[in-house]
Chains A and B, each alone.
Chain A
Amino acid sequence: GAGVSQSPSNKVTEKGKDVELRCDPISGHTALYWYRQSLGQGLEFLIYFQGNSAPDKSGLPSDRFSAERTGGSVSTLTIQRTQQEDSAVYLCASSWGGNLYGYTFGSGTRLTVV
């Protein structure tokens, strides 16, 4: 597609369950980013993939969070044993590597942990 696609758009899960959030970046974009937006908060950086380099995981809040990017394209963010404080909108963005002003964001996945 023409834009960054995220699925699902909404997810309600029970506390303690695992969830997987998916991001389909723009074709050809080598960099992919995950951010978290909590109510009343700014965007919190989570993780960043750039080509074949080791990902920058410095923003992952705990070891319950992990992400992978298969084949340099689709990325999955996994949250294990979800907690209520994980409730947020998870935003994915992609860019052509080397083009810092080319970030394109998806519409996000709204995660609610009950």
Chain B
Amino acid sequence: GEDVEQSLFLSVREGDSSVINCTYTDSSSTYLYWYKQEPGAGLQLLTYIFSNMDMKQDQRLTVLLNKKDKHLSLRIADTQTGDSAIYFCAESKTRSGNTGKLIFGQGTTLQVKP
């Protein structure tokens, strides 16, 4: 199966909280990431979490990591129309003695309705 899996679509109303979920397969991943892609643009790093943490909060963003279940989630509080975008979860794949590459999920399209 795929290394990183996400649901493809989420629709919420402005002001509600959004929760985007992701599962990954590599228990040795050092970092896990959330990226945001707005239409016609490249990917922008939103936040990352080190694998020995279980939670990270950054303003409206909360990342939860369940390492046992290999489950990562991104919660966006007070979702705004400007949050409408595709959100990608990614895990790191490191090579011995060197940094490696990121493996991305398919992306979750977040639609925020006014």
A: residues with CB less than 8 A from B are 4, 31, 33, 35, 40-43, 45, 48, 50, 53, 56, 91, 93, 95, 97-101, 103, 105-108
Counting chain A CB atoms within 10 Å of each CB, the highest count among B4, B40, B41, B99 belongs to B99
A107 to B104, CA, bound (A): 17
Chain B interface main SS type: strand
B: residues with CB less than 8 A from A are 4, 6, 30-31, 33, 40-45, 48, 88, 90, 92, 94-95, 98-107
A105 to B38, CA, bound (A): 12
Q: By the criterion CB–CB under 8 Å, are A107 and B92 in contact? A: no
Counting residue pairs across A and B whose Cβ atoms lie within 8 Å, the total is 62
In chain A, what residue has the closest Cβ to B40?
A107
Chain A's nearest CB lies how many Å from the CB of B25? 14
| Listed A/B pairs (22) with beta-carbon separation below 8 Å | A4-B42, A31-B99, A40-B106, A41-B106, A42-B105, A43-B104, A43-B107, A45-B102, A45-B104, A56-B95, A56-B100, A91-B42, A97-B98, A100-B30, A100-B92, A100-B100, A101-B48, A103-B45, A105-B43, A105-B44, A107-B42, A108-B42
